[in-house]
Structure 1
Amino acid sequence: MTAIPQTPSHPKPKTLIVIAGPTAVGKTELAIKLAQHFNTEIISADSRQFFREMSIGTAKPSVEELAQAKHHLINSHSINDNFNVGDFEKQGLEVLDQIFADHDVALLAGGSGLYIKAICEGFDELPSVKPETRERLNAEYALNGIVALQEKLKLADLQYYHEVDINNPQRIIRALEVIESTGKPFSSYRTASTKQRPFHIIKIGLNLPRELLYQRINLRVDAMMEQGLLTEVTGLLPYRHLNALNTVGYKEIFEYLDGTTDLPAAISMIKQNTRHFAKRQLTWFNKDKGLNWFQPDQVDAILSFIQQTAI
């Protein structure tokens, strides 16, 4: 009897599990639990945890947490490096290839929606700009505030003005520096085309009732102060003009060091601005219909959902 030849089975596709959500919701803790469960590694999608000089104010995973699972793109760059979302897409995909060489599953965890989008869907390539253009716009922001930048963007690119988070100075400055460097609207570089990735993507969104999330934010800020945030920010005072330091938790302490406010008021502003930041994060993530929402302590339900969804 002639044996029936076996059709070779297709290799199982690799799977990227995305853990997204607002600051202080518990993404790091869940990502470590999932990394241990799947015996795999984590890529950080936090736009400030790349920078070695910024640790306490960016709520990086602790030394103990970093030892529990291998993390990538944390402490990988200096605040002096010109590292943008396009660079992150390129390096993040390279790291993913390395992880997938040895693992079927990888994790991407963070609260920077644009960086998550870059890995999952691709990011439109933008022209390079001169550092002095960015520094000048940052100086304008520091001197005149965000309203002046908003008006400048409104005149230069009305389409993007209506699309962007108008209260996010970094997004406005990024658009203006491209406009001023090229003479073309920033919106003309945004094709909104989605790149097909050679891996399966499962997106988990984490959230909590607002009062509980805000309580966690307030407690985290208090913990940061106890851990030495004031000392960290004081050491970075000579670099305050850099875009990386135009960040909640740093700019408020700079104001205290300038003598324009007292320390309790600065701490209160960090808490308030962090709560506003969390609200903006949720606004972004709520637009992503691919996110599947859970509370951070629903680990068994999240694992069950991943197993049911995985190809």
Structure 2
Amino acid sequence: MAKNKTLIVIAGPTAIGKTALGITLAQHFSTEIISADSRQFFKEMSIGTAKPHIDELAAARHHFIDSHSINTFFSTGDFEKQALEVLEEIFSKHDLAIMVGGSGLYLDAVTKGLDELPDTDMQIRSQLNALFETEGLEPIKAQLAAADPEYYAKVDQANTQRLIRGLEFFLSTGKKVSSFLTNSKKQRPFDTIKIGLNMERPLLYQRINHRVDLMLQEGLLDEVKSLQPHKDLNALKTVGYAELFDYLDGNITYDTAVEKIKQNTRRFAKRQLTWFRRDEQIHWFSPDQTDDVINFLENSINRVS
């Protein structure tokens, strides 16, 4: 792959307008889009993951939308490998590719690479998932904090899967995940330009609340009902689904579930921004600065090519 190939990354919190900008850029630069959203991979989850609509998918070719089933284990490492293969295919036809997503770890996996971790014991994962179901997250947090305080201090405290993964790794190997996290960046055969989208917090929260209302109007509750038999899968332990499962199980009222979805989505957006702000390579714009983004990219691509 020639070195003058460029990957344009569009990052930012949920509901900020990444999909619309990605499509505009893909059309402007005549290229294709890789979705780096850790939930839009799953074909059974559509409304609650805010997937691009049919007309948006028709406007530009997308990869990793509806690409996997919730019944398939699809790790960040799997995404890294498969996304690099798709990028090679895109770069065989185009000089530019677009990657859009709010999942910082997935974006980093492609642009920086992941550390190689030894395999873990699936039986231990099942036991920890069962512990989470019966006793919640606190005993897992306590064990992880004692076993690997370095990893515990870094990990997103609200990310159930990452907490379980850290403890699972220690119990399987006797070693700390933190001892494998070198943070060494892998060399990639393409240049990367990162665009971040942000806006005033009250406006973002307004957009999030409005999007949740739209999802419910579009039939989110029916989608969640159809997935009830699979609610124990990791893919479904996520905002928008977990709260409505709680409602369907009779644990909370419908109105409480809706308010919790909005609240948890706002918290998720805040964590996303915290993650992305650590990346000094991101150039920040507001969602209404499309022309500025295009001008910036054209100038940047000319400089790196």
User: Into which bin does the TM-score normalised by the smaller protein fall?
Assistant: over 0.9
* Post-superposition offset of 1:157: 0.3
**Aligned positions of 1:94-113 closer than 5 A:** 94-113=85-104
d(CA) in 1 for partners of 2:83 and 2:3?
Answer: 22
Correspondence for 2:13: 22
Correspondence for 2:4: 13
Counterpart of 1:200 (choices 191, 195, 214) is 191
Correspondence for 1:3: none
Q: Does 1:275 align with 2:266?
A: yes
Q: Which has the larger radius of gyration?
A: 1
Correspondence for 1:5: none
Unaligned runs of 5+ in 2: none
d(CA) in 2 for partners of 1:244 and 1:53?
Answer: 10
Deviation digits for residues 224-270 of structure 1, max 9, x if unmatched?
11111111111111111111111000100010011011111101000
Correspondence for 2:279: 288
- State whether residues 139 and 241 of structure 1, in contact with CA within 8 Å, keep that contact through their aligned partners in structure 2: no
What TM-score comes out, normalization by structure 1 length?
0.94
What TM-score comes out, normalization by structure 2 length?
0.96
% identical equivalent positions: 59
Deviation digits for residues 268-306 of structure 1, max 9, x if unmatched?
000000000000000000001110000011011101111
Correspondence for 1:82: 73
* Matched residues, number: 301
Correspondence for 1:31: 22
Counterpart of 2:227 (choices 224, 232, 236) is 236
- State whether residues 159 and 187 of structure 1, in contact with CA within 8 Å, keep that contact through their aligned partners in structure 2: yes
Unaligned runs of 5+ in 1: 1-10
- State whether residues 122 and 195 of structure 1, in contact with CA within 8 Å, keep that contact through their aligned partners in structure 2: yes
Correspondence for 1:126: 117
Ranges of 4+ aligned residues in structure 1 off by more than 6 Å? none
Correspondence for 1:187: 178
Query: Secondary structure of 1:307's partner?
Result: helix
Counterpart of 1:141 (choices 132, 135, 146) is 132
Deviation digits for residues 83-126 of structure 1, max 9, x if unmatched?
10000000000000000000000000000000000000001122
Query: Secondary structure of 1:102's partner?
Result: coil
d(CA) in 1 for partners of 2:136 and 2:153?
Answer: 19
d(CA) in 2 for partners of 1:54 and 1:129?
Answer: 27
d(CA) in 2 for partners of 1:135 and 1:47?
Answer: 21
Aligned-pair Cα RMSD in Å = 1.2
* Post-superposition offset of 1:145: 2.3
Q: Does 1:223 align with 2:207?
A: no
Query: Secondary structure of 2:7's partner?
Result: strand
Deviation digits for residues 186-209 of structure 1, max 9, x if unmatched?
112212110111111000000111
**Aligned positions of 1:151-166 closer than 5 A:** 151-166=142-157
